[in-house]
Structure 1
Amino acid sequence: MRSRRGRTLSEADLALWRQVARSVTPLPGRAPIEPEPMPVAPPIMPEEPQPAPGVALGRPPAPKPAPPPLAPLENRLRTQLRRGQQGVEAVIDLHGMRQDEAHLALRAFLRREQGRGTRLALVVTGKGAAGTALFGDERGVLRRVVPHWLRLPDLRPLVVGFEEAQQRHGGSGALYVRLRRAREAGP
């Protein structure tokens, strides 16, 4: 039996309808309503999947692995940075760049530094100039969006984690970014 909305009722729905229909007395001059028997549908056979060009038969394509989770800096590294025992290996300053320029520069910088084997980089976003916000403008846009960019899937394979820099490296206007080791090419 089909409902008014066009969907097929389940056996449980039909049993409930029958029970309700039996408990109701019809209006004078009307015959009692009996639900229509549900037609038996032929079993649905799954279609043979057609392989896409260049895909081997017999095996579904492997799902793309989820990007690894971000991790904060270790306490030891944070302490070494605070004491000046550990320095940053590379720095990029995004001051004065528009968002699209800064995003491209950041991506290129992180890929280049990962290829060089850099483990810790400093990304300077700036804090945003006080008193320069005009109607419709925001202060410190790069400061707000760079952490979002570092969480995106295109940069996650490069970034282990990040956090706000120590005051001597720029404080809230800069981020320490730990980079993953570059995967060596196979034989």
Structure 2
Amino acid sequence: MAAKRRLTDDELALWQAVAKSVTPLKRKRVKKPPADKGIGGEDAPPPESKVAPAKAPPGKRPKVAKGPPPNPAPVVAAPKPAPLLTPTPIPGAMPGIDKRQGERFRRGQLPIEGKIDLHGRTQAEAHDALQHFIERAYKAGKRQLLVITGKGMTQSKSGILKTNVPRWLNEPAMRRLILAISQARPEHGGEGALYVLLKREK
């Protein structure tokens, strides 16, 4: 293999002169896609601001606009239930009746304008008969009535009616028409009868 030949002084000087006259080429930079471009070249939405909201200085609260207070809903009071009717009313404590009239009522001194005898009837028959009697008397404008139940005898119909009639008179259908009830005087049946005082028809 032939040995490499060395450059002569003239050749070396020529090469150095050529090398000095050559300008090096600049590298082309590859352009990157802009950061604000989305997929497909569409503009991406601007990034959300991460600046914290301004805080009110300590010791001071932000002012809130004051408007007129809302109108509260009107409170409707529930109607009071009618007091329970009892065969032994207290004079002066019967709503709708003054003390003098209440005393006369209890003593049987008011004229009796109607009477019903419930003897010998079943409870269902007695209940229906009593309700119809009260309603007819009210519509006719009558005031004091006499209801005969019979005295309380063990295992008798009279005893059952004596217990149930005051309860029936407190049922809404009849209670709305009645002012008061009271045990009758001996001459009108005593423990086996009741006075019933009706309201005036409106």
Q: Distance in 1 between matches of 2:107 and 2:178?
A: 24
Query: 2:124 corresponds to which residue?
Result: 100
Letter in 1 for 2:181: F
Query: 1:180 corresponds to which residue?
Result: 199
Letter in 2 for 1:150: L
CA separation of 1:78 and 1:166: change in aligned 2, threshold 3 A: farther
CA contact (8 A) 2:150 2:158 kept: no
Give me the TM-score of the superposition, normalised by structure 1: 0.53
CA contact (8 A) 2:119 2:158 kept: no
- Please list, as runs of the form range in 1=range in 2, the aligned pairs for 1:96-135 lying within 5 A after superposition: 96-129=120-153, 133=155
Cα distance, 1:156 vs. partner? 1.1
Greater C-alpha radius of gyration: 2
Q: Distance in 2 between matches of 1:153 and 1:128?
A: 25
Unaligned 5+ runs, structure 1: 1-61
CA separation of 1:159 and 1:67: change in aligned 2, threshold 3 A: farther
- Please list, as runs of the form range in 1=range in 2, the aligned pairs for 1:82-93 lying within 5 A after superposition: 85-93=109-117
Q: Distance in 1 between matches of 2:102 and 2:160?
A: 26
Unaligned 5+ runs, structure 2: 1-75, 86-93
Q: Distance in 2 between matches of 1:167 and 1:78?
A: 18
Letter in 2 for 1:121: L
Q: Please tell me the root mean square deviation across aligned C-alpha atoms, in Å.
A: 3.1
CA separation of 1:175 and 1:83: change in aligned 2, threshold 3 A: closer
Q: Distance in 2 between matches of 1:78 and 1:100?
A: 31
Give the 3-state SS of the residue equivalent to 1:141 in structure 2.
Answer: helix
Query: 2:168 corresponds to which residue?
Result: 149
- Please list, as runs of the form range in 1=range in 2, the aligned pairs for 1:21-170 lying within 5 A after superposition: 65=79, 67-69=81-83, 70=85, 71=94, 76-77=100-101, 80=104, 85-129=109-153, 133=155, 140-170=159-189
Give the 3-state SS of the residue equivalent to 1:114 in structure 2.
Answer: helix
Aligned residue pair count: 118
Q: Distance in 2 between matches of 1:83 and 1:176?
A: 10
Cα distance, 1:180 vs. partner? 1.1
User: Any idea what the Cα deviations from partners look like across 1:156-182, whole Å, max 9, x if unmatched?
Assistant: 111111010011100010000011112
Give me the TM-score of the superposition, normalised by structure 2: 0.49
Q: Distance in 1 between matches of 2:178 and 2:172?
A: 10
Cα distance, 1:86 vs. partner? 3.0
